[in-house]
Amino acid sequence: MTLKVTAKGFELPDYMEAHIESEFAKFDKFQVVFHSRNVFMKLEPGRQFIVEIAVKTSVGDIEASADEKELSEALSAAFARLERQIIKKKEKPLAHRSELNERDKENFLKEEEASAEAAADIVIAENNK
């Protein structure tokens, strides 16, 4: 899992990359495997920060963006939008299976959890090389 942070039009503070990494760590609770993570930040002429986040995950490709007067506010808004999209993509398969009985829903959840654990094991193995 790679993290690429790009800043255009301003100097990125040293602590900001660690802050972005900690924001991504909050997504561990969703059991989503990130294959790539790109964060692009730009300062517009009117002192407007634009933050765009593009990720490739086990639930699909997701993009989120926000623009605010302060960099930290733009980052927070973009990560909040990313979180909502991840939740939506994870819950969508269950929403379309309303005709399934409870046992089938439980089996579907177990299969999805097992595939997420297998993907996480692969990533861990790659990182340990």
Q: Which domain holds residue 8?
A: 3-95
User: pLDDT (tens digit, 9 = 90+) per residue, 54-98?
Assistant: 999 988 899 999 999 999 999 999 999 999 999 988 877 666 555
Residue 125 inside a domain? The answer is no
**Cα R_g (the chain), whole angstroms:** 17
Residue 91 inside a domain? The answer is yes
For residue 61, what is the domain's CATH number? Answer: 3.30.160.100
Please count the structural domains in the chain: 1
CA distances from 11 to 36, 41, 42, 80 (A): 23, 10, 10, 24
Q: d(Cα 59, Cα 50) in Å, to the nearest integer?
A: 25
Q: d(Cα 61, Cα 31) in Å, to the nearest integer?
A: 15
Enter the pTM of the model. 0.70
E strand or H helix at 57: strand 48-57
Residue 77 near residue 44, CB atoms below 8 Å = no
Residue 104 inside a domain? The answer is no
